[in-house]
Amino acid sequence: MNITRQEIEAFLYQEAELLDTWQMQEWADLFSTEGTYVIPPIGSPDADFKTSLFLVHDDRARLEQRALRLLKKEAHVEYPHSQTLHNVSNVRIVNNTEDVVSVRCNFTAYRAKRDFLDTYVGVNEYEFVKEDGKLKIKSKKVILKLEALRPQGKVSIIL
């Protein structure tokens, strides 16, 4: 696929803005029809979801349900919505074939709620494809670079 790092960066900045402004349906629309969003266990980025407990393992339908649920009052942990700030850095194209572009980048996501500030850091691994002429996320794997989910104890936002 003929795509530049600058185009990928612009896409990733748009994704971060959508998450920070709670435009969850628009975020879900960034994914291809076969899109996946996963967060493997901390310390086991190459774990198999069939034998390990993932923090998140969503196919396209499930990630859309997650995004829409976060907008509802019934999602108590995120209502009212947290203030979030997603930062992306060190964007690199790892592989660029005719059909798929693989990208790695570092991220920091901050979540402020009820006088607490949670910080998540890690590496995102993406696969991008073209679908109907548009760049779409085929897969997003969030590799948390934490020893544990303390003090926050959970991932209630989309990283």
Task: Please write the tens of the pLDDT for every residue from 118-146.
Answer: 999 999 999 999 999 999 999 999 999 99
Whether residue 122 is contained in a domain is answered as yes
Whether residue 107 is contained in a domain is answered as yes
pLDDT > 80? residue 153: no
Cis preceding linkage at 151, omega within 30: yes
Whether residue 81 is contained in a domain is answered as yes
Whether residue 46 is contained in a domain is answered as yes
Query: How many C-beta atoms lie closer than 10 Å to residue 73's C-beta?
Result: 8
Whether residue 150 is contained in a domain is answered as no
pLDDT digits 0-9 by tens, 14-63: 999 999 999 999 999 999 999 999 999 999 999 999 999 999 999 999 99
Task: Domain of residue 31: give its range.
Answer: 5-144
Buried b (16+ CB within 10 A) or exposed e, 125-143: bbbbbbeeeebbbbbbbbb
Whether residue 155 is contained in a domain is answered as no
CATH label of the domain that carries residue 104: 3.10.450.50
Whether residue 96 is contained in a domain is answered as yes
Number of domains in the chain: 1
Whether residue 9 is contained in a domain is answered as yes
